[in-house]
Structure 1
Amino acid sequence: MTQVEEYDYEALPENSSLSASLVAGALAGIAEHAVMYPVDSIKTRMQVLQPTPGAVYSGVINAASRISTTEGVRTLWRGVNSVIMGAGPAHALYFGTYEYAKQAFGGNEAGHHPLAAAAAGACATIAADALMNPFDVIKQRMQVHGSIYTSVAHCASRVYATEGIRAFYISYPTTLTMTIPFQSIQFATYEYLRKVLNPSGQYDPMTHIMAGGVAGAVAAAATTPLDVAKTLLQTRGESKDVRIRNCNGLFEAWKLIYQRQGLAGFAKGLQPRVLSHMPSTAICWSVYEYGKWFLNRQDADKQPILH
């Protein structure tokens, strides 16, 4: 009588866990950013501290309508190539680091381990953001109203020539200040909901969609004030305002935002940020979990049959 060894997709085989996480993570990152990119473009424009007269919007629908009719629908996708170029390798590194750290911190053991998931998420974002930050700067420079850049290469070369390499990393400390709590909240929420909704741990797409969507929305809402500051720092070179152009860090950015717009300034772009992160995080986790399940399923099928 033959018996095939029992297979659990969450318990990744030792000979394929890293490769599966890297490939699944890359696919998840590209899907996450590309699908919701137009909403992200709207969020960037709504967060600009000193927008041009033609780029003041009352909401997501108003922004989408005005941008589409006055600048063309393609404008909402300007800069998406930068995200696609960076998201693949960055998310491969992101999920690869997460799986390794979660295992090291005991997050794969039975029961709920929110601290282990949060710590693993923090480790993942530190590594991934170091790679992704320059691509994010280029993306936001191309998203702002009146952007003069025709391509990713054009934007990168112009920013480097006029502002130097520092421009690509001026927002990195602020980015980490935002993404570490964002990812910690997201991962802890996702892992908790995933285990509550699906105690058996078997592959279940609906669980990943629901848990990912809620986790993304909660984390996005909680970290919006940090995202507003990040946008200011990443787009400062496009501003004609001397104080904005010379802004050098998180607290200086927050001070400037408060002086110009009060407490309401810290919630700029909250609606499109939540609207983009809820589905994009659901997509990201769904694609990642499916990719991990599929790739490791192939490896499991290749395992020798036990007699």
Structure 2
Amino acid sequence: MDFAPEFLASSLGREFVAGGLGGVAGIISGYPLDTLRVRQQHSNAGSAFGILRNVVAKEGPAALYRGMGAPLASITFQNAMVFQINAVLSRAFDSSLSAQDPPSYKGVALGGFCTGALQSLLLTPIELVKIRLQLQNNVYAKLHHADAHNGPMSVAKSIFKAEGLKGMYRGLTITVLRDAPAHCLYFWTYEYMREQLHPGCRKSCQESLQTMMVAGGLAGVASWACCYPLDVVKTRLQAQSQSSLPKYSGIVDCFRKSVREEGYRVLWRGLGTAVARAFIVNGAIFTAYEMSLRCLFNNGSLQAENAI
């Protein structure tokens, strides 16, 4: 993507580009684990290792990356906007701060909360398509009376044709309920942990790569742990198609039926996979983001302090 020099010369332009590069690093590093998480949430199919072995044996290793086109095609813009909006809002809640001072933890948390709510508008259709592709196999197609799809555009066209724009935004409410508090904790945890691991780095921006990776990984784990039951409900709501009789009529109905049929443990099914993925993915996201910022702000050269 060709960005104008004037755009990259601004702080917002650099935040945008760095956020996009971080998003790409995150999606590539953690997508197979995301596929396993979705399959665990959707049905009682056993452990993550059992599902992995079954998927590879019956569908091939490429099945672990099925549906990656939709999030990868949009992740640069999505993650870029998330980091840029958070940077703007965090400072907006601390308008008295000077440009040299980092935003307060309160400003970071409030900025993250609003960022999570806003990004749900972009994320809902993408995750809907991704989930349909990740769950797609012959058994799923027969169960939901659905045709097999070749890629994200095929799924999107099918949903739009059958249900219109409203169908593309199935799961919006639960996505907002999940992402607003999750992003609040996400950005707060990263800022807090990087400062604990490397005191003074929020001002000096001289933390090591190890600090970036660990703080980013812990931020991802915290955000997923706080919202995981909502993510299970979201997966089940977005997996069902209107072409067959929907099993769940809404968020509360999905929660009640899931718990009644499978117990409260169903709300935490796949958490181990999600946490492992979150640590890897978000460590990669924040490391790529911070390193990109340093490259852009230092004319392509990393500071010596960033070495592990």
Output the TM-score relative to the length of structure 2.
0.84
Paired residue for 2:71, among 76, 83, 86?
A: 83
| 1:92-131 to 2 correspondences below 5 Å | 92-106=80-94, 113-131=104-122
Amino acid of the residue matched to residue 90 of structure 1? Q
Q: Does 1:214 align with 2:213?
A: no
How far apart are residue 284 of structure 1 and its match?
0.7
Match of 1:7 in 2: none
Q: Describe the SS at the equivalent of 1:298.
A: coil
1:101-125 deviations in Å (ceiling 9; x for gaps): 1122238875883321111111222
Partner of 2:16: 22
Tell me, in whole angstroms, the C-alpha distance in 2 between the residues paired with 1:252 and 1:150: 32
2:116/2:182 contact within 8 Å kept: no
Deviations along 1:265-304, one digit per CA (max 9) or x if unpaired, are 1112211111111110111111111111111112999xxx
Q: How does 1:55-94 map to 2 (within 5 A)?
A: 56-94=44-82
In structure 1, what residue type is equivalent to 2:57? T
> How far did 1:239 drift?
8.7
* Structure 2 letter corresponding to 1:19: G
Q: Percentage identity across aligned positions?
A: 24
Instruction: Identify unmatched segments of 5+ residues in structure 1.
Output: 1-13, 302-307
Matched residue, 1:259: 260
1:132, 1:297 → 2: CA distance?
Answer: 32
Report the Cα distance in structure 1 between the residues aligned to 2:49 and 2:243, rounded to whole angstroms.
Answer: 25
Taking the aligned partners of 1:158 and 1:240, their CA distance within structure 2 comes to 14
Letter of the 1:208 counterpart: M
- Indicate the SS of the match to 1:237: coil
Q: Deviations over 1:138-157 (max 9, x none)?
A: 00000004151111111110
Aligned to 2:305: none
Alpha carbons of 1:291 and 1:238: their partners in 2 closer, same or farther (altered >3 Å)? farther
Q: Is the 8 A contact 2:86 2:112 kept in 1?
A: yes
**2:272 aligned with 1:271, yes or no?**
yes
Query: Which residue number in structure 2 is paired with residue 304 of structure 1?
Result: none
Query: What displacement does 1:57 show?
Result: 2.9
Shift of the 45–283 alpha-carbon distance from structure 1 to 2, 3 Å rule, reads: same
- How far residue 34 of structure 1 moved from its aligned partner, in angstroms, is 2.1
Offset at 1:238?
A: 7.8
- Provide the rounded CA distance (Å) in 1 between the counterparts of 2:116 and 2:275: 19
Partner of 1:190: 190
Separation (CA, whole Å) in 2 of partners of 1:69 and 1:240: 29
SS at match of 1:223: helix
- Whole-Å separation in 1 of the counterparts to 2:243 and 2:179: 25
Flag the 1:241–1:68 CA change in 2: closer, same or farther, 3 A.
farther
Structure 2 residue aligned with 1:144, among 135, 144, 155? 135
Partners in 2 of 1:143 and 1:94 — Cα distance?
24
Inter-partner Cα distance in structure 1 for 2:246 and 2:122: 29
Q: Which ranges in structure 2 are unaligned for 5 or more consecutive residues?
A: 1-7, 142-147, 303-308
The amino acid across from 1:291 in the alignment is S
Greater mean deviation of Cα atoms: 129-138 or 67-76: 129-138
Q: 2:213 touches 2:286 (CA, 8 Å); kept in 1?
A: yes
Q: Aligned letter for 2:281?
A: S
Q: Aligned in 2, Cα 1:237/1:158: closer, same or farther, shift over 3 Å? A: same
Counterpart in 1 of 2:170? 170
| Cα distance per residue 1:183-208 (max 9 Å; x no partner) | 11111111101111122323321111
Equivalenced residue count is 280
Change (3 A) 1:299 1:263: same
RMSD over aligned CA atoms reads: 2.4
Normalised by the length of structure 1, the TM-score is 0.84
Equivalent residue number for residue 133 of structure 1 = 124
Greater relative contact order (CA < 8 Å, ≥ 6 in sequence): 1
